[in-house]
Amino acid sequence: MSDKINIEVVYALPHEQILLQLQMPQHTTVAEAIKLSGVMGKYPDIDQGKNKLGIFGKLTKADAVLRDKDRIEVYRPLLADPKEVRRKRAEEGRAMKRGGGEAAA
């Protein structure tokens, strides 16, 4: 049995995506793997304190221990809160329904 595991680190921007395939020692944590991958040097906007992390689409903690073939995903912060966007759309829809303008003649 090998003392190394194979993992992937992925990070996506609107115009660019990066997928790094790496070998790490067993018992490596998510935070350690991100640091060792070098992705933070290439993308200095990544902040492990702010960016959420996932393994195969499920949120995870930075201190989670990786398993062979795990894919770490570094998520970008949301530009807008989805709940707030829906609320604003609903408000705009109500305003449109109330006053039909001058077309009703």
Distance, CA of 62 to CA of 73 (rounded, Å): 11
Instruction: Dump pLDDT digits (tens) for 22-51.
Output: 999 999 999 999 999 999 889 888 877 788
Which CATH code of 3.40.50.920, 3.10.20.30, 3.90.550.10, 3.30.43.10 fits the domain covering 4-98?
A: 3.10.20.30
Domain ranges of the chain: 4-98
Predicted pLDDT of residue 71: 97
Predicted pLDDT of residue 96: 60
Band of pLDDT at residue 14, cut at 50, 70 and 90 = confident
Structure tokens at 22: 């790496």
